[in-house]
Amino acid sequence: MRIATWNINSIRTRVDRVVDWLGASDIDVLALQETKCRDDQFPRAALEAAGYDIACHGLSQWNGVAFISRIPMTDITVGFDGMPGFAKDHDGDDPPLEARAIGVTVEGVRLWSLYVPNGRSLDDPHFDYKLRWLEALRTSTASEMTTFDQLAIMGDFNIAPLDDDCGDPRMVPGLSTHISPVERESFAKFESINMTDCVRPRVPEGYTYWDYKNLSFPRNEGLRIDFILGSPAFAANVTDAFIDRDQRKGEQPSDHVPVVVEIGGADEDDDRPMFW
């Protein structure tokens, strides 16, 4: 099974690119983030014509998550247990929940598409929200691991956990989000619940995001902030991994690129495209 995650930065703008890429890369299940549309606006027709079903959660032109799968999806879940909400200047104990998490089960494998809050700045209320959101995600993930042997959480984590994951010279230690010690510590805590990065062992270098400004992509001044973290059984079943840097090229690309893993053994006569 070939599983991928991609912050698409508007599915309506890039649905044709997604359809083409799904076919060329032979993807079985794709997790999307920043779909930026309501569920009734999701461009289903082109994807369904390509043989894929859709599970999506979008509330407005911001955020939004989805799964696109040619394998039947069950246990579709919007939001995880304990997920906090956020609204600027909100008064009260129950801020609205944003469209940042959706879970599905595919052939017994539990998968989550996640769009972790950006944080905005180190002194912004959104930064505290980001940390609380990640803490709630760890708690919920640990609970699900008691039910699902094979589980993966994937998406845009908005954290570059290692120094090598940050190639953007505008990111300043002590001043910038995504690279602060507290964010990196929060990311590292997923290891304490036995969730591990399934891509880095096979792809130790490479970014997944480049800003549209300042010639960031030609200069390769990017960030590695998109991940697939898996339970021990899921990670042990990963046979290949790939960051598709070429999807940052061409007309109207997303500022993120797909991250892919393959789980399970391939048939001897498998003629699917190879990862290089």
CA distance 191 to 86: 26
CA distance 76 to 95: 23
What are the strands, taking DSSP E only, across 43-179?
A: 53-57, 65-69, 74-78, 101-106, 109-115, 151-156
DSSP 2-39: EEEEEE-S-HHHHHHHHHHHHHHHT-SEEEEE---S-G
Domain boundaries defined on the chain = 2-263
3-state secondary structure of 153: strand
Residue type, 209: Y
What pLDDT shows up at residue 133? 98
**Cβ burial, residue 110 (10 Å; 0-12/13-18/19+):** buried
What pLDDT shows up at residue 87? 84
What pLDDT shows up at residue 91? 66
DSSP state of 163: G
Angle 148-151-152 (CA atoms, 0-180°, nearest 5)? 165
Record the tokens describing residue 238, joined without a space. Answer: 């990963």
Q: Which of the four CATH numbers 3.30.365.10, 3.40.50.300, 3.60.10.10, 1.20.140.10 does domain 2-263 have?
A: 3.60.10.10
CA distance 83 to 98: 9
Contact 243, 208 (CB under 8 A): yes
DSSP state of 256: B
Contact 115, 225 (CB under 8 A): no
Residue type, 15: V
Q: In the sheet that 65-69 helps form, which strands lie side by side, from edge to edge?
A: 53-57, 65-69, 29-33, 2-7, 259-263, 238-243
Per the rule left: phi > 0, alpha: psi between -120 and 50, beta: everything else, 175 is alpha
Residue 174: partners with Cβ closer than 8 Å, 6 or more residues away: 180
User: Using alpha carbons only, how large is the chain's radius of gyration in Å?
Assistant: 18
CA distance 228 to 274: 20
Would you give per-residue pLDDT tens digits along the chain (276 residues)?
Answer: 999 999 999 999 999 999 999 999 999 999 999 999 999 999 999 999 999 999 999 999 999 999 999 999 999 999 999 999 998 776 667 899 999 999 999 999 999 999 999 999 999 999 999 999 999 999 999 999 999 999 999 999 999 999 999 999 999 999 999 999 999 999 999 999 999 999 999 999 999 999 999 999 999 999 999 999 999 999 999 999 999 999 999 999 999 999 999 999 544 344 544 443
Record the tokens describing residue 183, joined without a space. Answer: 């964010």
CA nearest to 66, candidates 40, 13, 104:
104
Contact 19, 47 (CB under 8 A): yes
